[in-house]
A and B are shown apart, each in its own frame.
Chain A
Amino acid sequence: MTTPPLETDVVVVGGGVTGVAVLRDLALRGVHAILVERFDLGTGTSGRWHGLLHSGARYAVRDQESARECIEENTTLRRIAPHTIEDSGGLFVLLPGDDEAYAAQFVEGCRASGIPTEELSTAAAHRREPLLAPDVRLAFAVPDGGIDSWALLRSMAADAEARGCQVLVRHPIVGVERTGDRITAVRVHDAVAGQDRTIGCQWVVNAAGAWAGDVGRMAGVPLTMIAGKGVMVVMASRYVRGVVNACRKPADGDIIVPQHQVAILGTTSEQVPSADDISVPPADVDRMIDMCAQMVPAIASGRVLRAFAGSRPLYRPEAPAGNGGASGGDTREVSRTFTVLDHASRDGLDNMFSIVGGKLTTCRQMAEAVVDRLAERMGVTEPCRTATEVLPGADHGHHELAAPLARVEQDQAYGELICECELVTRGQVREAVASGLTELEDLRRKLRLGYGPCQAAFCAWRAAGMLAEGSEEGDPVAGLERFLEERWRGQQSTIWGDQARQALLNHAIYRGIFDLRGDGVPDEAAAVSPEDGA
C-alpha cells in the first residue's frame, strides 16, 4: 500500500538544532514546512558535544565575530529557553605554565566582544570551585552555562509542530527531483515502514550540519564540509559547579562542562574523512583526563562513565571541491562563525539554501539568517520572532540540578523510582510510553534513563518490564538485550577501576542471574553506530 505523497512549501533537511530552529522560525512566520532527519533528532553533532552554552569567551582572543554572536545568543537563549539551561556560570583559569600575556588578551577580547567578565581572587575561585587545582594563578568568571540540546530540540520541535509543521524522523533523504533550475521534490526513505516517499516542495533548506556536503551532492551542488572530530569524556559525577576553561589558546583538554549530574571533559580536534567516524581512541581518553586534571586534580582518580565523539560541521569556503576527504590536522583555526549559502547565485539552483558552520549556541541566529533570506525570496513578510517568542516550558525557569531530587522528595516518590541514578519515576515512564515511545533507547533519550553510573543495570529491565506491561506485542527481553548491547558499544576504551566493577556486576546480573545471551542481537552491532547518540 503506498502512502499519499506529501506536499509542503519548505523541506528542511537535518534534525539537529539548526534544522529544528529553521523549522520553528518558518512555523512562526506562518510557513508550512516538513523536516526530514535520517535517525532521530539530535543524533548528529547536536547530540555529540559537550553542552556548553557559550559566553563566547573561548573566541574572545582569536575570533571576535564568533565571540559576539555567542554572547548575543547566550542572552537570547536564556530568555526563550531557560528550562534547557543551567545557570551554572563559568571560569577561565590560568595555571602555572600558562602565558600571562594571553590572560591580558583574553580580558581585552572579552571587553571588545561585549562579554562580561570578572576577575576573581584565587580564594574566591576556590570557594566557588572547591576542587579547583590549588596552583591556579588567575581566574575570570564568565556567563557560560550548560545547555541540554535534546531539551532544546524537543522544545523547538514541539513549538513548530504545534503551529502545523511536521517532523519526520527516521526518514533519510535519498535524492531530489530536479527540473531545470529547481528542485520539485525531495525523496526520502521511511525507515520504519521500509519504503520511499516523495515530498513535493517549493524550497529546500539544507541544515544537515556536518553532512551538508552529502545533501549538496544529492542536489547537484558542490559543497565541501570538513569534519572536525572531537572526543569527549563523561565523568560519573559533576566535580564542578560551573564550566571550567583553561585560559589559553584553545587546545586539547581545556574545558570541563558540567551537564546535569556529570562532567564532560573536552575536547580534541582532528579532521576526519567522514562525520560518521565516531570512534574514540583510548589515547584520546587518557589525554582528556590528564589535561583536565590539571584544572581539577580529582579527575585523575575519578570514575569515567563513557566517552563519545562528534564532528564539528566546519565550512571552509576556499577548500577545493572534493577535498572533504582529507584527514589529520587541527581544525581549530577554522572560523566558528556560520555561512548562509544561496545556491541560486552560487550554483544556479534556484530554490535551495544551505546553512553551514556555526555552533549550537548560535543555532537560532543561524536559522534567522537563512530564513530571512528564504522569506525574502518567498515573498513572506512576517519578521523573525524566534528571539522574542519563548519556547514551551520556558515558564519553568532555569533547569536546576537538584530539581529531580526535589520533586521526588516533595512527592515522597522514592518507591516510584525506575531509574535510580537519574531519578526517573514510574509516572514519567508511563507518560512517555503513553506518548508513543516503545523502545528503551527512546526512553533513554527522552528521560535520561540509563544515563547514570550504573549504566542501566537496574532501570533497563524495570523499564522493559513496564513496556511489557503496556503491550503484548514485541519481545521485550530481546529489546532489552538490544538496548544493552547498544549501550555497550565503544565503551572498552573507558572501562577500568570502578566502571570495570560496575560492568562486571551488570554482566553477572544479566548474563549470570538472568542467563541472557543476546542470541537475537546481530554481530555487526559490535561497532558503534552514529545512530546511537552519545
Chain B
Amino acid sequence: MRADVVVVGTGPAGLASATRLAEAGRQVLLLARGNGFTHWGAGSVDVLGRIGGEPVERPLEAVDRLPEGHPYHLVGQAAVRDGLDWFSRFTAAAGLAHHGDLEHNRGQVTAFGTLRPTCLVPEPAAGELGGRVAVVNFAGFRDFSPALCAQRLRQAGIDATPASAPLPAWDHDRYFTGVELARAIDDAGFRRRLAPGLARAAAGADVAVVPAVLGVGRGHEPWADLQSLVGMPLVEAATTPPSIPGLRLFAAYRARLEQLGVRWQFGFPAVGVERDGDRVTAVRSEGASRVQATRCQELVLATGGVAGNGIEANRDGTLTERVAGLPVDGFGDRLGFLGTRFLGDQPLAAAGVRVDGELRPLDASGAPLLANVRCVGGLLAGHDPTVEGSREGVALATAARVADLLAATPAR
C-alpha cells in the first residue's frame, strides 16, 4: 500500500491533523489501533485551564507563563489561534457550533457539579447557570446523580435542586447506557414524548442541567429541539466516558475525512517503520496474517503518549515509543511514574517525545532524528494535558503547525 502522508492515531490531534493535511492538499492515510480521547473527554476544547493548580482566566495570555519546551512555545501563539479558529469554523459547519474565545476561560458544568475551566464549549454546554437551576437526570441513567451535582453546585452558590425525568417507553427499558439514550433522543418522536416529563421535572426553574446525552447522530439539533419543546434552556453536563459530545465530534470528523477522500485503517496498530537514513520510507501495521507496509512520504504520529497507548510504560521504569522507537526520557524506576496523590500531578502523563520547532523528534543530543516524522498532541513531552487542561488546545495547535509545515506545494 502507498500513501502520501500517514497519520497514526484518531484522537483529537490525529483527527485534526488528518483533516487539515487533506484540506491542505495532501493525500492522507489515517491508521489507528482504535478510538481515542474524543470518546473519553468532556467534549470541549481545553486550551489552558490551570497552571500550578490555580485556575487560569485568560488562556492565550497565560501561555507565556508555561515553561520552556511546552508544545505551545514550540508552535507559537499564532498556531494556537489558528488551531482554534479552524476548529470553530469546522464544527460550526458541521452543525456543532462552539462558544468561547481564547481571551477567556469559562466554567463547564460537570456531572459532579464542578465547573471545569475550559476555553470552547459546544452550544449545548454553553448555557448560563443563572437563577433557579433544576438538575435533572433521566430515570435509570446510571452516570448522573442529580443529588451529587446539585449539592456541589449549591456549594458554589448556585441555586440548584435535584429532580428526575421519566423516560417514555422504549426498546431499551432493560438496559441502556448514554449511547443508547442519545440515539433514542436523535429521534424527533422520542423527543416529543420525552419533553413533557422533563418539563414537569424542571418546573419552576430558569434553566435545567441534564447529562450530556441529547442526541449523538444529528449534531446539536436534538438538543435545540428538546430545549424548545421543554420551553427552558437546557445545559449539558459533562459525564464519564463514553463521551456523547465526543462521539458527535468524531462523527463530524469522520464525515469530513470521507468527503476529503482520506483513507482509514481502523483497528490495526502501527507497529514499526522502515527507514532509509534519516527518512521513514514506510509504516508497518498489523494485518490479520501479515504485517502491512505502507510506503509514505511523511509520517505524523498522533498516538497520545502513555494514556493513548503511543508510549509503553515498562516494568523497569523505562518508556518505549511504540511506532518508531523514538527516544523518550524514562524514569529511574517505576516509582517515578506516578505521584503520591491520585488527584495530583502524574509524571507519566507529562512524559513524551521531545521535538524541535518543526515537531520533528529529537535524539539524545537534541538534533532532529528523522526528517519526515512529526509528532503532535499528547505524544509530546513537556506537558500534562490533564492537570493543566490543555489536551484539545495542544492537539489543535500542533495540527495547525503540521498542516502548515506539510501543506502541498504546487509542484507536488
Please determine if A and B sit in direct contact within the complex, based on CB atoms under 8 angstroms apart.
Answer: yes
Residues in A lying within 8 Å of B, measured CB to CB:
282, 286, 412, 414-415, 417-418, 426, 457-458, 461-462, 464-466, 468-469, 472, 475-477, 481, 484-485, 487-489, 491-493, 495-497, 500-501, 503-518, 521, 523, 525-526
Contacting residue for B342 out of A462, A477, A485, CB 8 A: A485
Give the distance in Å from the alpha carbon of A497 to the alpha carbon of B320 in the complex.
11
Q: Are A500 and B335 in contact (CB under 8 A)?
A: no
Q: Are B145 and A412 in contact (CB under 8 A)?
A: no
**Residues on B with beta carbons closer than 8 Å to the beta carbon of A514:** 110-112, 114, 116, 238
B140 at the interface (CB under 8 A from A): yes
Contacting residue for B348 out of A418, A476, A477, A504, CB 8 A: A504
Across chains A and B, the number of contacting residue pairs, with CB separation under 8 Å, is 164
Given A493-B335, A500-B348, A511-B387, check contact A418 B112 (CB 8 Å): no
Query: In terms of DSSP, what is the predominant structure of the interface of chain A?
Result: helix
Q: A509-B40, A515-B117 are in contact. List 9 more A-B contacts (CB 8 A).
A: A286-B315, A485-B342, A488-B342, A496-B315, A507-B349, A510-B342, A511-B386, A514-B111, A517-B53
Q: Are A465 and B148 in contact (CB under 8 A)?
A: yes
B389 at the interface (CB under 8 A from A): yes
**Residues on B with beta carbons closer than 8 Å to the beta carbon of A523:** 341
**Residues on B with beta carbons closer than 8 Å to the beta carbon of A414:** 174-175
Give the distance in Å from the alpha carbon of A282 to the alpha carbon of B142 in the complex.
37
From A488, A492, A507, name the one whose CB has the most chain B CB atoms within 10 angstroms: A507
Listed stretches B1-9, B195-203, B304-312; interface member: B304-312
Contacting residue for A508 out of B112, B307, B333, CB 8 A: B307
Give the distance in Å from the alpha carbon of A516 to the alpha carbon of B53 in the complex.
11
Write the nearest CB–CB distance from B156 to chain A, whole angstroms. Answer: 12
The residue in chain B whose Cβ has the minimal distance to the Cβ of A475 is B151
Q: Pick the 6 closest A-B CB pairs, nearest first.
A: A465-B145, A488-B342, A518-B343, A415-B175, A515-B116, A468-B147
**Residues on A with beta carbons closer than 8 Å to the beta carbon of B49:** 515
B377 at the interface (CB under 8 A from A): no
The residue in chain B whose Cβ has the minimal distance to the Cβ of A418 is B142
B327 at the interface (CB under 8 A from A): no
Given A497-B315, A501-B306, check contact A507 B342 (CB 8 Å): yes
Q: Are B334 and A477 in contact (CB under 8 A)?
A: no
Q: Are A516 and B241 in contact (CB under 8 A)?
A: no
Given A508-B40, A518-B342, check contact A477 B386 (CB 8 Å): no
Q: Are B306 and A512 in contact (CB under 8 A)?
A: no
Q: Are A484 and B342 in contact (CB under 8 A)?
A: yes
6 CB < 8 A contacts A-B: A415-B142, A491-B338, A501-B306, A501-B309, A503-B348, A515-B110
Write the nearest CB–CB distance from A247 to chain B, whole angstroms. Answer: 28
**Residues on A with beta carbons closer than 8 Å to the beta carbon of B116:** 513-515
**Residues on A with beta carbons closer than 8 Å to the beta carbon of B344:** 518
**Residues on A with beta carbons closer than 8 Å to the beta carbon of B238:** 513-514
Given A476-B148, A516-B112, check contact A500 B340 (CB 8 Å): no
Give the distance in Å from the alpha carbon of A531 to the alpha carbon of B37 in the complex.
36
**Residues on A with beta carbons closer than 8 Å to the beta carbon of B41:** 508, 512-513
Interface string of B309-326 (1 = CB under 8 A from A): 100111100000000000
Give the distance in Å from the alpha carbon of A468 to the alpha carbon of B387 in the complex.
27
**Residues on A with beta carbons closer than 8 Å to the beta carbon of B117:** 515
Q: Are B240 and A515 in contact (CB under 8 A)?
A: no
Q: Are A495 and B337 in contact (CB under 8 A)?
A: yes
Given A282-B333, A503-B338, A518-B344, check contact A496 B314 (CB 8 Å): yes
Given A461-B112, A469-B145, A509-B241, check contact A492 B335 (CB 8 Å): yes
**Residues on A with beta carbons closer than 8 Å to the beta carbon of B312:** 497
Write the nearest CB–CB distance from A39 to chain B, whole angstroms. Answer: 22
Q: Are A512 and B42 in contact (CB under 8 A)?
A: yes
**Residues on B with beta carbons closer than 8 Å to the beta carbon of A457:** 240
Give the distance in Å from the alpha carbon of A409 to the alpha carbon of B398 in the complex.
47
From A481, A487, A500, A503, name the one whose CB has the most chain B CB atoms within 10 angstroms: A500
Write the nearest CB–CB distance from A115 to chain B, whole angstroms. Answer: 37
Write the nearest CB–CB distance from A513 to chain B, whole angstroms. Answer: 5
Given A414-B174, A415-B174, check contact A461 B342 (CB 8 Å): no
**Residues on B with beta carbons closer than 8 Å to the beta carbon of A496:** 313-315, 334, 337
Q: Are B114 and A501 in contact (CB under 8 A)?
A: no
B266 at the interface (CB under 8 A from A): no
B152 at the interface (CB under 8 A from A): yes
Contacting residue for A503 out of B151, B176, B346, CB 8 A: B346
Contacting residue for B313 out of A469, A476, A477, A500, CB 8 A: A500
Q: Are A464 and B145 in contact (CB under 8 A)?
A: yes
**Residues on B with beta carbons closer than 8 Å to the beta carbon of A493:** 334-335
Give the distance in Å from the alpha carbon of A493 to the alpha carbon of B315 in the complex.
9
Given A501-B307, A512-B42, A514-B112, check contact A282 B340 (CB 8 Å): no
**Residues on A with beta carbons closer than 8 Å to the beta carbon of B346:** 503-504, 507
